[in-house]
Each structure stands twice: as C-alpha cells, then as structure tokens.
C-alpha cells in the first residue's frame, strides 16, 4: 500500500498532530508517546527541516514500522497553493490556503545570485496605514508558527532548494515584510524564526533575516533579546503630524519613543545597522527639508535608509514622488554619511510589490461573490 508516500494535510485528518511548527522541545514531547530515544527527535527534525521531507515514508533512516506508526499519528503538512504567479521580472507570488480556508501571500524576489523570501505574519492587518493596500483589508487572524515556517518550506519546495543548507542557495534571505505586523504576532514569529535558524534544520543565519515593524516600540527590545535578527522600521515620515496620518500606530508610539527604542536595540551596538524604510509620496514627505530632518532624527543610530517608491493601487489618493525628487532626497541622506538605496519595485505586474499583497485574492473573492449572487438571482 502506498498511503505513506503522500503528504496528508492535517486538515483532512484532524486526529493527526501536525509536526510542522513545533519547537524542538515540543517535538520531543510529542514523539514521547512513541517511546522513542532522544536522537530520533533530531533525526525527524533533520528530515523535516533540512531535507524537506513531506512524508514519513521518505525518512529512510527510520525503520518501516516506525514510519508507519508516525504516519498514523502525525502529519507534516504544507499549506495548499491556491495560486502561483510569476512576474515578468521573475518575482514569484504564492497565495496559500490554510487549513481553515484563510489565505495569505508569500513572495519570492530572486536576484542573480541570491534572493529574498517575503513572509507574512498575519492574515490581513490591524494597522490601517493609509498608503498600504493590505491595510485596507480587515485583520482576520494571526498565522501560527507552523504557517509562518510553512511559507519557507513551500518556497523551497517550489524553487527546488532542498536540502536546506547547501551553498549558493537562491533563497538566501528572509524579510518579515509580508502581510501583517510581525510584532503583533510576537510569540508565533519568534517560535517560527527559531525553527528557521535551528542549526540541525534549515540553519538560516540570523544575519540574513530582517524583521520589519511599523513601530511597535515596546517590543523592539524583545526582538533584540529573543532573536537578534536585523531590524527594519517603517518610518515614512519625520513629523508626528504626518506620521499619524500615514502610520496611525504613531499615535500610540510617536517618533521619539520609536527612535529611542531603536537607539537601545542591542543589534546597533554590534555594528548591525537598522534599516529605516521611507516611502516616497509626492508632496507628502519628500522635500529636501524632510530629508534633512530625517538625518537629524536618526543621528547616533547606525542606520541605512531604504527609499521605497510608492506602489499605487486602485482607488488610492497618494502618488509616487518623481525620480528626480527621490534622487535629490537620496543625495542629502548620502552626503550625511548614510547609504540610501532606492528599493527597486519588484513584481508590480502580479501585485506582489510592497503594500500590494492580498489585494488580488480579495478581488477574486469579491468577484466570485458577485458571480455567486448573480447565479442565485438567476435561479430565483
């Protein structure tokens, strides 16, 4: 019988415990019911996160009866892929279907010799940043640790990069810059990143992981203590008046408090620079005076400024600053001694660029609803 050779989604078998997303300790506690010696936990961990095994049948270092026992009780599930798109610039976007039918997007942005996976932390978002399309969609729920790690596993499946720790991997960096605010799903994000950085599994270096936050100031010290990954701050404005409008979270944690917590970020003492993301919005935050104020504000913080050309979406009132304005802004920051790369928009044609996520799937659902409504009427 070949039932062992298939990946059986946990959703179809609610009695099976899904092993993806369990911490090392939880995995060994979970396997304890089978009375396995400790080294088995390490072996199974290795199969799941280093080799990318989708079924117990692939775990050839385990005896067949054990594999069968494991398959009866546990699963190694992956989210379903609702849609997979490839941009004409090579960017890939997957809309993932979780076991409760909720969806989130993951984006892979390849470059010639490396690439970043942009991972979501929530379905939807609570922050309602006025320039962000994801923010116009309601918050649905936090992703579980397994769903966060699972995005990485699906990406490796799709681009064919198992085992995880070989040299010259195209998937070389992770940015927690997908849908949602990672610091509002703190515990699951920490748990997932610990799995991803575990040396017996994916072994991803912390230096290759960047966590982006809209500015949950009191959590920033925790990130330094618990994770020590690179930090990115979605700053976007230099006065509280403007930032209150762009990133309403600013009313809670204003610029000064946010920057104070950045100054105290342990990473910055270890010469790891904090990235400040700054979206270029025509006539809103893009004058030379804004650039000079930005330089003044971040004084003393080892930093890099990432200028992000605004990605438009249907119905939005903001416009992107002109190339000349962006270049002049960058020049002022550069002269003050900071690097200020302008982020190349990637995957705009498949709505995979910054701030565009989830939009398409919402639209599909909306059009499906409209179509269903029509059918209903026609039937009546």
Q: Which listed residue (27, 192, 330, 354) binds ligand SAH by CB under 6 A?
A: 354
CB 277 within 8 A of CB 231: no
118 tagged catalytic: no
Residues 36-55 that bind ligand SAH (CB under 6 A): none
Residue nearest ligand SAH, Cβ-based: 355
Candidates 48-56, 89-97, 254-262, 303-311: pick the segment binding ligand SAH (CB under 6 A).
Answer: 303-311
Which residue number, 336 or 342, has a Cβ lying nearer to ligand SAH?
A: 342
Nearer to ligand SAH, 103 or 359 (CB): 359
Q: If you search the block for the tokens 């982006």, which residue do you land on?
A: 212
Contact 323, 317 (CB under 8 A): no
Count of CB atoms within 10 A of residue 313's CB? 17
Neighbour-count burial of 248, counting CB atoms closer than 10 A to its CB (0-12 exposed, 13-18 middle, 19+ buried): middle
Q: In sequence order, which residues have a C-beta less than 8 Å from that of residue 287 and are 6 or more positions away?
A: none
**Binding flags for ligand SAH, 222-241, as an x/- string (CB under 6 A):** ------------x-------
Which tokens belong to 310?
Answer: 């605004």
The tokens 């969806």 sit on which residue?
A: 103
- Give which of 41, 105, 131 is closest to 313, Cα–Cα: 131
CB of 258 to ligand SAH, least distance (A): 12
Binding of ligand SAH by 213 (CB under 6 A) = yes
Decide if residue 94 touches ligand SAH (CB under 6 A): no
Catalytic residue among 26, 105, 147, 331: 105
User: 211 and 230 in contact (C-beta within 8 Å)?
Assistant: yes
Whether residue 354 lies in the annotated active site: yes
Q: How far is the CB of 26 from ligand SAH (least distance, A)?
A: 27
Strand runs labelled E in the chain: 17-18, 74-75, 80-86, 92-97, 103-110, 115-118, 122-123, 141-142, 173-176, 209-213, 230-234, 274-280, 303-309
Q: Tell whether residue 106 is a contact of ligand SAH (CB under 6 A).
A: no
310 is a contact residue toward ligand SAH (CB under 6 A):
yes
CB of 175 to ligand SAH, least distance (A): 8
Q: Is the CB of 48 or the CB of 255 nearer to ligand SAH?
A: 255
Using the contact rule CB under 6 A, the part of the chain among 77-85, 125-133, 163-171, 257-265 near ligand SAH is: 125-133
How far apart CA 51 and CA 252 sit, in angstroms, is: 44
Among positions 169-198, residues that touch ligand SAH (CB under 6 A) are: 177, 181
Q: Which of residues 264-283 bind ligand SAH (CB under 6 A)?
A: 277, 279
Catalytic hit among 320, 354, 362, 378: 354
Query: How much is the CA Rg of the chain, to the nearest whole Å?
Result: 22
Residue 106, beta-bridge partner list: 94
355 belongs to the binding site for ligand SAH (CB under 6 A): yes
Q: Which two tokens stand for residue 261?
A: 């917590």
Under the binding rule (CB under 6 A), the answer on residue 18 touching ligand SAH is no
Question: Binder to ligand SAH among 188, 311, 321, 359 (CB under 6 A)?
Answer: 311
Q: How far is the CB of 198 from ligand SAH (least distance, A)?
A: 24
Q: Output 67 or 133, the one with its CB closest to ligand SAH.
A: 133
Residue 2 in tokens:
């070949």
Long-range contacts of 310-317 (CB under 8 A, 24+ apart): 310/131, 310/279, 310/280, 310/281, 310/282, 310/355, 311/345, 311/348, 311/353, 311/354, 311/355, 311/356, 313/133, 313/351, 313/355, 313/356, 313/359, 316/131, 316/133
Size of the site for ligand SAH (CB under 6 A): 16
* C-beta closer to ligand SAH: residue 344 or 375: 344
Q: Which residues are catalytic?
A: 105, 354
- Contact residues for ligand SAH (CB under 6 A)? 129, 131-132, 177, 181, 212-214, 234, 277, 279, 308, 310-311, 354-355
């Amino acid at each position: 019988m070949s039932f062992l050779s298939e990946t059986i989604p946990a959703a179809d078998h609610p009695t099976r415990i899904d092993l993806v997303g369990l911490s090392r300790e939880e995995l060994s506690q979970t396997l304890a019911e089978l009375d396995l010696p400790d080294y088995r936990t390490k072996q199974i961990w290795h199969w799941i996160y280093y080799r990318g095994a989708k079924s117990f049948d692939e775990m050839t270092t385990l005896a067949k009866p054990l594999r069968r026992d494991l398959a009866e009780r546990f699963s190694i599930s992956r989210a379903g892929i609702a849609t997979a798109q490839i941009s004409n610039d090579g960017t890939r976007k997957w809309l993932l279907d979780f076991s409760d039918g909720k969806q989130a997007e993951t984006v892979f942005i390849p470059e010639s010799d490396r690439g970043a996976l942009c991972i979501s932390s929530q379905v939807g978002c609570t922050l309602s940043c006025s320039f962000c399309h994801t923010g116009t969609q309601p918050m649905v729920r936090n992703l579980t640790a397994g769903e966060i790690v699972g995005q990485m596993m699906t990406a490796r499946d799709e681009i064919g990069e198992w085992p995880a720790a070989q040299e010259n991997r195209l998937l070389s960096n992770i940015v927690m810059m997908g849908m949602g605010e990672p610091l509002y799903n703190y515990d699951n994000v920490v748990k997932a990143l610990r799995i991803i950085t575990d040396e017996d599994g994916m072994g991803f270096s912390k230096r290759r992981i960047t966590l982006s936050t809209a500015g949950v100031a009191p959590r920033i010290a925790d990130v330094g203590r618990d994770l020590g990954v690179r930090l990115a701050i979605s700053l976007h404005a230099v006065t509280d008046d403007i930032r209150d409008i762009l990133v309403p979270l600013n009313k809670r944690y204003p610029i000064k408090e946010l920057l104070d917590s950045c100054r105290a970020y342990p990473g910055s003492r270890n010469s790891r620079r904090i990235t400040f993301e700054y979206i270029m919005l025509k006539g809103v935050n893009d004058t030379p005076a804004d650039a000079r104020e930005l330089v003044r504000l971040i004084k003393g913080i080892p930093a890099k400024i990432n200028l992000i050309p605004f990605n438009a979406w249907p119905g939005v009132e903001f416009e992107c600053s002109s190339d000349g304005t962006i270049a002049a802004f960058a020049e002022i920051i550069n002269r003050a001694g900071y690097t200020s790369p302008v982020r190349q928009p990637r995957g705009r044609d498949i709505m995979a660029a910054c701030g565009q996520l989830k939009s398409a799937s919402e639209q599909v659902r909306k059009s499906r609803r409209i179509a269903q409504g029509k059918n209903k009427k026609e039937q009546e």
